[in-house]
Amino acid sequence: MFKKTLSFFVSCLLIASAAVAAKEPVNLAVIKHKLERYHDSGEYLHDISDVATKALRYLELRVERGDFKGKKPAIVLDIDETSLSNYPDMVRLDFGGTIEEIRQDEDKGTDEAIEPTLKLYRYAKAHHIAVFFITGRHEEERQVTEENLQKAGYLNHDGLILRSGDYKKAPASVYKTAMRNQLTEKGYDIILNMGDQQSDLRGGYADKTFKLPNPYYLIP
Ligand SMILES: [Mg+2]
């Protein structure tokens, strides 16, 4: 009987302490409002510009040194929220949407350039540094993605790499690391790799990585 009473008492204590410790998470509507304010205030673009400018300074330094380890110099860029912005579509889908809805939006081919990235791109091309796009978009989206990149100003890139075959189902970092490995096997020194997700950057095969902000979604 004593044991039962003690166990009841301990359970009550645990429930009471859990009730004290638990804190109501921030309301989703408040978070969405903050996400819009981060964009509309210009802070988002400012933070992107900050990172892309550091990437540009690093590339300038490497070009000045002419230090490419005897290999063909290249940079790697992700596409969505790195080179092209989906922001208007994200707002329209209220920062949600199904995979199909998101893909339909991508396939409109109307995404605008993220200017600080375009500046980095133009510097690279003007200095004979190859630029490769490695994207989580699928091979079936090649034509529309190619057209969108051209329209946004990413002219004469050196390769657009999309998910195909077994890589369609692989985790982003596994697929992207394998693609960078293939580039290094083709004789490229990837001077820098820039993306908005850690999964764009993990796994090596780049001298330096640059992580752009993206509080809008997560690709593990
Ligand atoms: Mg991205």
Tens of pLDDT, residues 183-202 = 999 999 999 999 999 999 99
86 Cα to the center of ligand 1, angstroms = 10
80 CA from centroid of ligand 1 (Å): 4
Q: How many angstroms separate the alpha carbon of residue 84 from the centre of ligand 1?
A: 9
* 55-93 pLDDT per residue, tens: 999 999 999 999 888 899 999 999 999 999 999 999 999
| Per-residue pLDDT reduced to its tens digit, 167-177 | 999 999 999 99
Under DSSP, is residue 66 helix (H, G, I), strand (E, B) or coil? Answer: coil
Class of domain 41-211: alpha beta
Contacts of 44 (CB under 8 A, 6+ apart): 38, 213
CA of 102 to the centre of ligand 1 (A): 13
pLDDT higher than threshold 60 for residue 14? no
Considering the chain, what percentage of its residues have pLDDT values greater than 70? 91
140 CA to centre of ligand 1 in angstroms: 18
pLDDT tier for residue 13 given thresholds of 50, 70 and 90: very low
Cα–Cα distance, 170 to 165 (Å, whole number): 10
Q: Domain locations in the chain?
A: 41-211
Residue 51 CA, ligand 1 centroid: distance in Å: 15
Q: For the whole model, what pTM was predicted?
A: 0.88
